Structure 1
């Protein structure tokens, strides 16, 4: 069975020989993994919202991944720039500064916005800018026959918006129902809808949208607020993807505990829920499979907070097998870490994950 057929079987609720595997890593791990495998780690790809998801493809395939992730990248005329003061500014005008393991947001270009006209006056990126999809097309041409293709579209509405204005300002604007909030969400949703339609037309098997709206202990917003701001836009987004390619499956990523929103995502047309964060409140795989497994496939489920960095290799193997036994029955499961594997995880533990996932040593 090819990796592509394995993915297609799983997301269409047919039982594959084993669940398909996907994995992404943070940049600090690329070199050590490549050294262990006798490979060379390429530089990360410049994609403002998806760099870790779409970089180091050959390395991930060598480990045992069944899927390749593609996304819109920085276009030819707007690469990410590093200013003299060290601030990295992407095509959205969002500024980040590296503080070791992570980049922190430091510049919110629409922090001044107070009106719809402020939003309309801003120069949002062009989803059709030359070069934006060149890397995605090259990857689909190279890998698409044998491997599953996931089109990454995370930070679909909420996250990109708060990167632009700042999180506190956005929450206050939402609570006060400021008109500029709707204008901002429409602009951001339009960009990502058009980008996702392009990826669906290019041959992605899955369009992977997402916004983090859950914390470790519960949702960050109410269901009423979700219905007010996000449900209509997400529904229109999903419908647009299906219109371009009725066969494409739609995944949604949200870290944290998001139980109250799951029925609303199903109503919007969701096919696949990600990442099933193991230590978030209520995200129990057995309950989720029993409750929603006839309507949703699942994607993720392997803990990056405790298991992968701190577990033994045998504990990792046992937990992978346990998750597969729960979520993989009857298909409907893409086996993956619940987020990018973090820099505190050893290469031995990463190899143990792939060995348990694929049945062979990388």
Structure 2
């Protein structure tokens, strides 16, 4: 089996040749891996132009994502001012942000939807813009050119978190509490736009035989951020609309990524047609073995390995005792094993050991 055959067999609850692997890697882990494996800075020692791709190839990662530019106004991106190392810019979501040039996080200075009445006059740039798909198609071409290409899914955002970009997260949460009608209208506009970008991604990337992942961080460790009642009333119908649109277009599988514990709304997502979830975080109470017992062949699991306690601080035996039951549960399908992400608190040696277990027992 190649990677696509392995992943699609697992997602379809057929026995794969080996349990597929999916992980993503923090830059700090990649740097440590380079030092450990004596890989040159540009990844050239493994004949890969990108360090993350080199690491993927080394470990045999079976699954990867490619995302188009889904934000409403990509042509409006501009640097507005620079004062020393502080940059003020407008992003593709229409936000004016300020941050240090080398910083990851930013301050929101101005937001595109400042008044609830503005939703009626919002005009997004067309989902069909070729520029939205340039890096997306380049990414797919790079992945497909590998000697052992991974299974590729398209990726889009979801209705909860992406819409918050237009209002700011604090105001968005207030909106959800105060005016569900406005929230549903604004999120509906964003959802319709993202659906069109997703459909174009499936078509341009020819990804119908694999599918699409909806990334929407709706939860934190204790549970769904807005509570299950608000989520099911406002956002679940929009997720149902997305899932139905992608499947009606021919997408074989529709998956969802959300951090945290989504257990209280998972029944509704499964009933809406969702095929699988990522990352199934143990630290958030998302137990892959319990979920397998609860949902059986109705829900595939991607992830399931503890990257907060077991991989960073467990002994080899503790890692073994954690990983082997999950591999056993996925041997006949239904699991793509991995974690949320691999950060600098996980040693290269420990991750090597984890992957060796997957290869030996998966």
Same fold (TM over 0.5): yes
2:299 aligned residue (291, 296, 301): 296
Q: CA deviation at 1:183?
A: 3.0
Rg larger for:
2
Partner residue in 1 for 2:283: 279
CA distance in 2, matches of 1:344, 1:65: 20
Q: Who is 1:106 aligned against?
A: 107
Q: Return the offset for 1:185.
A: 0.6
Aligned-residue offset at 1:211? 1.7
Q: C-alpha distance in 2, partners of 1:356/1:62?
A: 15
Structure 1 alignment gaps of length 5 or more: 44-53
1:26-175 paired onto structure 2 within 5 Å = 26-40=26-40, 56-73=52-69, 77=75, 84=82, 85-87=86-88, 89-94=90-95, 95=97, 97=99, 103-107=104-108, 109-110=110-111, 113-116=114-117, 118-121=118-121, 124=124, 126-144=126-144, 146-153=149-156, 155-175=157-177
> Which of 251, 261, 269 pairs up with 1:265?
269
Q: 2: distance between equivalents of 1:149 and 1:279?
A: 27
Secondary structure (helix, strand or coil) at the match of 2:61 reads: coil
Give the alignment's TM-score, normalised by structure 2.
0.83
The answer as to whether partners of 1:113 and 1:180 remain within 8 angstroms in 2 is no
Q: How many pairs does the alignment contain?
A: 343
The two structures have a TM-score, normalised by structure 1, of 0.83
Deviations 1:74-125 (A, max 9, x none): 898566859522356531134364698x733421643762223x23555645
Task: Tell me what 1:351 maps to.
Answer: 352
- Offset of residue 180 of structure 1: 3.4
Task: Tell me the alpha carbon deviations over residues 259-314 of structure 1, each in whole angstroms, 9 at most, x when there is no partner.
Answer: 12111001111000222110223x22222101102211111111222222222344
Q: Which residue of 2 aligns with 1:47?
A: none
Q: CA deviation at 1:210?
A: 2.7
Partners of 1:111 and 1:279 lie apart in 2 by: 35
In structure 2, C-alpha distance between the alignment counterparts of 1:74 and 1:213, rounded to whole Å: 19
Structure showing the higher helix proportion among its residues: 2
Counterpart among 310, 314, 339 of residue 311 in structure 1 = 314
Per the alignment, residue 178 of structure 2 pairs with 176
Mapped partners of 1:212, 1:242: distance in 2:
22
Asked if the contact 2:94/2:112 (under 8 Å) is kept, the reply is no
Deviation at 1:9, TM superposition (A): 0.9
Q: CA deviation at 1:193?
A: 1.2
More deviation, 72-81/208-217 = 72-81
Q: What's the counterpart of residue 240 of structure 1? A: 245
Q: Is 1:230–2:235 an aligned residue pair? A: yes
Q: Retained in 2: the 8 A contact 1:211–1:253?
A: yes
CA distance in 2, matches of 1:245, 1:212: 25
Q: CA RMSD in A?
A: 3.0
Of the candidates 214, 218, 221, which is equivalent to residue 213 of structure 1?
218
Q: Bigger CA drift: 270-279 or 79-88?
A: 79-88
Does the 8 Å contact 1:149/1:203 carry over to 2? no
Rounded Cα–Cα distance in structure 1 between residues aligned with 2:355 and 2:153: 19
From the superposition, tell whether residues 192 and 322 of structure 1 become closer, same or farther in structure 2 (CA, over 3 Å): same
Q: Post-superposition shift, 1:42?
A: 5.6
Name the residue aligned to 1:188: 190
Counterpart of 2:220 in 1: which secondary structure?
coil
Tell me what 1:331 maps to.
333
| Closer, same or farther: CA 341–274 of 1 in aligned 2, 3 Å | same
CA distance in 2, matches of 1:242, 1:276: 23
